[in-house]
């Protein structure tokens, strides 16, 4: 969607791939929510360190007292009558100096109690058994009071363990994808967006934008599900021309912006549905399952839609965003920036949860609570489109060159930035945004 200033409802046809233009605040300050989060984080970290330190020392003391090899999981497993994996994780955790990493590695309270009982039967010092039992009780109380279950605790721990974060996030997103694909009744293999930003001929502060959106392998997952590829038909801001097709023709229907050369040849499995401010492309029952999967690619031109320079006396952030409108296995978001704008600056990625308050304005501090703490990487891929190839998006480079050619753009004049996600969160909004200041 293209917006301008802080005006509401300022877009024409929205395929969810368009740009952020936001209000430019005079300054920012930490919010009460930020301060509360910092206090809560410090409290939990202190408790994790205390419980982890006590548990590691107590379990290490038990293992050291067992009359067998202290470093061989198989031997310890046999001696204490516990699972080999439990023995391995216990030995590894007891060797870690970081108490938070040790908690993550430790088995759960149940297996640890079984291990300690096995050691007690071998006649180790009762004081070691007492200390270990008390430490396990505090570990279990930590899980129950701070997390609710071990899976949630591992999610909390990953905030302090970067090497764990990626693994736990991916597992959670995979589970969310499977569940939501069933509940929504549809999914796509790939969701991709590409924004091409060029200086506006109408304003020294704004860029024009070409916005491409694709849903590949879009399919119904169960009979009776209703799946839409939606556009918001909103009014453009005063003085700004409406969005058009990439060859400057009026947009009267979603079908006007479908790039047929790069979409499924037979779109008979879809039907348009209209409401007051939306047009939806509805998937029909014959698209059920993988055999009925279709590809839809759209492209449109939005004039004067993204700030590259702040108006006098203002500053803030500006860029383009992508919406995840279907559960998908992968998302790709590319932004191509003309060499004359955002010079010497690299965008940063911000993700919002849109489920409560809808699409976010990146300069609206009241939406900071909607930001999701997801580790994202923005790749800088140089000039042109030669580096754009994606194995999951057939003919992607050809698509980009076709659109640029239609608009009369020279691909070598554009810097390329990319952000990819595996199993992106359904209902999220991803910004690639730059800090924007006034002309010097």
Residue-wise pLDDT tens digits, 269-323? 566 665 555 555 565 555 556 667 888 898 999 888 888 888 887 888 999 999 9
C-beta separation of 302 from 208 below 8 A: yes
Q: What share of the chain is helix, strand, coil (3-state, %, to 5)?
A: 35, 30, 35
pLDDT of 340 strictly over 70:
yes
**Alpha helices of 359-419 — where are they, by DSSP H?**
396-407
43 and 155, same domain (yes or no): yes
C-beta separation of 276 from 267 below 8 A: no
pTM metric for this prediction:
0.75
Domain membership of residue 130 (yes or no) is yes
The Cα angle at residue 229 between residues 8 and 357, in degrees rounded to 5:
35
Q: What is the pLDDT of residue 197?
A: 96
Mean pLDDT of 320-341: 93
388 and 419, same domain (yes or no): yes
Domain membership of residue 47 (yes or no) is yes
- Label residue 233 by pLDDT band (50, 70, 90): very low
Smallest Cα–Cα separation from 103: which of 63, 64, 61, 138? 138
* Sequence-separated contacts (24+) of 151-154 with Cβ below 8 Å: 153/103, 154/104
**Quick check: helix, strand or coil at residue 40?**
helix
Per-residue tokens: 291: 């055999």
Mean pLDDT of 16-38: 49
Ramachandran angles phi, psi of 204, nearest 5°: -75, -10
Ramachandran angles phi, psi of 292, nearest 5°: -100, 10
Q: What is the pLDDT of residue 40?
A: 65
C-beta separation of 197 from 233 below 8 A: no
**Quick check: helix, strand or coil at residue 389?**
coil
pLDDT of 160 strictly over 90:
no
- Label residue 136 by pLDDT band (50, 70, 90): very high
d(C-alpha 120, C-alpha 111), whole Å: 14
Q: HSE-up of 158 (CA within 13 Å, CB side)?
A: 20
Domain membership of residue 97 (yes or no) is yes
d(C-alpha 287, C-alpha 300), whole Å: 26
Smallest Cα–Cα separation from 432: which of 123, 211, 158, 219? 211
Per-residue tokens: 238: 């005063």
Q: What is the pLDDT of residue 22?
A: 44
25 and 136, same domain (yes or no): no
210 and 345, same domain (yes or no): yes
Per-residue tokens: 361: 């304005």
382 and 356, same domain (yes or no): yes
Extract the runs of DSSP E, i.e. beta strands, from 248-293.
270-274, 278-283
- Label residue 25 by pLDDT band (50, 70, 90): very low
Q: What is the pLDDT of residue 440?
A: 54
Domain membership of residue 215 (yes or no) is yes
C-beta separation of 278 from 230 below 8 A: yes
If residue 171 lies in a helix (H) or strand (E), which one and from where to where?
Answer: helix 162-184
- Label residue 10 by pLDDT band (50, 70, 90): very low
C-beta separation of 339 from 199 below 8 A: no
Q: What is the pLDDT of residue 70?
A: 60
Average pLDDT over the chain, rounded to whole? 82
Residues spanned by the domain of 155: 35-165
108 and 20, same domain (yes or no): no
Residue-wise pLDDT tens digits, 392-432? 999 999 999 999 999 999 999 999 999 999 999 999 999 99
If residue 219 lies in a helix (H) or strand (E), which one and from where to where?
Answer: strand 206-220
140 and 207, same domain (yes or no): no
417 and 278, same domain (yes or no): yes
- Label residue 28 by pLDDT band (50, 70, 90): very low
Q: How many domains, in total, are found in the chain? A: 2
């Amino acid at each position: 969607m293209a917006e301008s200033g802080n005006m509401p409802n300022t877009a024409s046809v929205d395929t969810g791939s368009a740009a952020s233009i936001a209000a430019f605040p005079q300054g920012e300050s930490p919010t009460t929510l930020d301060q509360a989060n910092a206090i809560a984080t410090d409290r939990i970290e202190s408790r994790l360190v205390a419980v982890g330190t006590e548990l590691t020392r107590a379990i290490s003391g038990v293992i050291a007292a067992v009359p067998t090899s202290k470093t061989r999981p198989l031997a310890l497993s046999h001696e204490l009558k516990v699972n080999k994996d439990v023995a391995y994780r216990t030995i590894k955790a007891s060797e870690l100096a970081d108490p938070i990493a040790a908690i993550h590695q430790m088995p759960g309270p149940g297996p640890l109690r079984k291990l300690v009982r096995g050691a007690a039967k071998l006649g180790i010092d009762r004081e070691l058994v007492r200390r270990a039992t008390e430490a396990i009780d505090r570990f279990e109380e930590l899980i129950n009071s701070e997390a609710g279950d071990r899976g949630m605790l591992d999610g909390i721990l990953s905030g302090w363990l970067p090497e764990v974060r990626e693994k736990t996030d991916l597992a959670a997103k995979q589970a969310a994808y499977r569940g939501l694909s069933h509940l929504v009744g549809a999914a796509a293999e790939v969701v991709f967006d590409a924004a091409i930003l060029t200086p506006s001929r109408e304003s020294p502060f704004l860029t024009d934008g070409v916005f491409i959106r694709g849903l590949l392998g879009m399919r119904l997952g169960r009979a009776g599900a209703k799946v839409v590829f939606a556009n918001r038909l909103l009014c453009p801001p005063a003085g700004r021309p409406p969005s058009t097709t990439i060859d400057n023709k009026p947009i009267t229907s979603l079908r006007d912006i479908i790039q047929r050369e790069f979409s499924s040849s037979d779109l008979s499995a879809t039907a348009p549905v209209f409401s007051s401010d939306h047009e939806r492309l509805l998937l029909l029952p014959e698209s059920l399952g993988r055999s009925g999967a279709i590809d839809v690619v759209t492209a449109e031109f939005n004039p004067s839609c993204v700030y590259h320079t702040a108006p006098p006396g203002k500053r803030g952030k500006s860029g383009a965003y992508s919406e995840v409108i279907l559960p998908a296995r992968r998302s790709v978001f590319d932004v191509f920036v003309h060499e004359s704008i955002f010079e010497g600056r690299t965008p940063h990625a911000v993700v919002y949860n849109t489920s409560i308050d809808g699409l976010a304005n990146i300069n609206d501090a009241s939406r900071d609570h909607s930001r999701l703490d997801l580790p994202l990487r923005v790749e800088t891929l140089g000039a042109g489109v030669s580096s754009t190839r994606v194995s999951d998006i057939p003919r992607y480079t050809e698509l980009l060159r076709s659109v640029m050619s239609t608009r009369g753009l020279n691909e070598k004049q554009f810097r390329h930035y990319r952000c990819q996600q595996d199993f992106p969160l359904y209902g999220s909004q991803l910004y690639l945004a730059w800090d924007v200041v006034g002309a010097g």
